Amino acid sequence: MSLNIGKMFHIVHVSETLRPLDAWYDDVFVPRRGMMDDNYSALEMREGSLLVMGDTMIETMASAPKPGSEMLPVGKFFARFGRHLHSLAWYTDDVGAIWDRLVEQGIRVIHHQPTDRPVEGDIYTHPKDTLTQLEFFQPPAVTGGPPDVRFDPTWPEQWAAAANPLGVQRLAYATVVARDRDRATTVYVDVLGGTIIDEGPSTLTGTLNTYVAIGPETVVELAVPTDAGSLAGRDLAALGESCHAMAFMVEDLAPVVERLEDKGIGILARDDTTILADPAHTYGAPIRFTTVAVPGDPRD
């Protein structure tokens, strides 16, 4: 079944406090800011900002320093995972159809509207049912949701003219670490309607990877660790299935190496086409830079 899943909305990156995480992205990536900064959600007692690099939006997030926030989802997530990537989110023009499909397939879904079946706004999957939490967002017809500069036709030119010391072009893929390939592909292919575009082992990451195209411009890497000592293997053992890493397309790795060294960010591993930054220096998020697109990427 084909679902109306559109542009990736954002990848959530959680830390203990918001402003130092925002400042780190500002310093290292020089993203576009100003769409949502230091936003406070009273419902979830959490703070967040939206940062854009190329075609990629990161929502930085932290539990608000208020009594009781540790009992709500973001506070609980940080207590269990620490600094870590949290979830993936996509835009949609028919959130109700996605709700119907997920519920039909036995996937637990929540939303904050006073109706059983949403017609706009956000829905969220239970992370245990989809390997990580997934969000689908249909902007309300009146407000349109937060502004997103990536829908501006001149955005590619704006980004090309902006300071971009890492040479980020786009998100190559987001990685979800999984225990079982069959279960992972059932969720991302059979339920979400994605298409397998490539698969194979990676000696660099110690994983067996299945690449799934979701919507018109997102690739998700479903990574099953083959080496228990790898970063993905350790993450799976310690934290379970989760949103594990993100990889950015760049034209040249040399500026990446120079920038990482300048900012005191260690390189955990590398080969001729890909660099793995040390998550100890990237607020817990395994961040990769690669010069090679996944074969079959729908954007190519």
Q: What is the pLDDT of residues 94-149, one digit of tens each?
A: 999 999 999 999 999 998 776 788 888 899 999 999 999 999 999 887 666 668 99
C-alpha 241/C-alpha 126 separation (Å) is: 12
H/E run at residue 122 = strand 121-125
pLDDT in tens, 75-95: 999 999 999 999 999 999 999
pTM: 0.96
Distances (CA, A) of 143 to 36, 39, 123, 274: 14, 16, 17, 40
CA nearest 88: which of 210, 245, 295, 211? 245
Q: Is 267 exposed, middle or buried (0-12, 13-18, 19+ CB in 10 A)?
A: middle
Query: What values do phi and psi take at 85, rounded to 5?
Result: -65, 145
CA distance 165 to 186: 39
Q: What is the pLDDT of residue 228?
A: 95
Looking at every residue in the chain, the average pLDDT score rounds to 94
> CB–CB of 248/167 below 8 Å?
no
CATH number, span 162-290? 3.10.180.10
8 Å CB contact between 288 and 246 = yes
Alpha-carbon distance of 166 to 30, in angstroms, equals 9
In CATH terms, are 5-151 and 162-290 the same topology? yes
SS3 of 242-279: EEEEEEEEECCHHHHHHHHHHCCCCEEEECCCEEEECH
- Write out the E strands in 42-120: 46-53, 56-63, 84-92, 109-110
Query: What are the residue boundaries of the structural domains of the chain, listed by start?
Result: 5-151, 162-290
Fold of 5-151: 2,3-Dihydroxybiphenyl 1,2-Dioxygenase; domain 1 (3.10.180)
Is the pLDDT at 194 greater than 90, yes or no?
yes
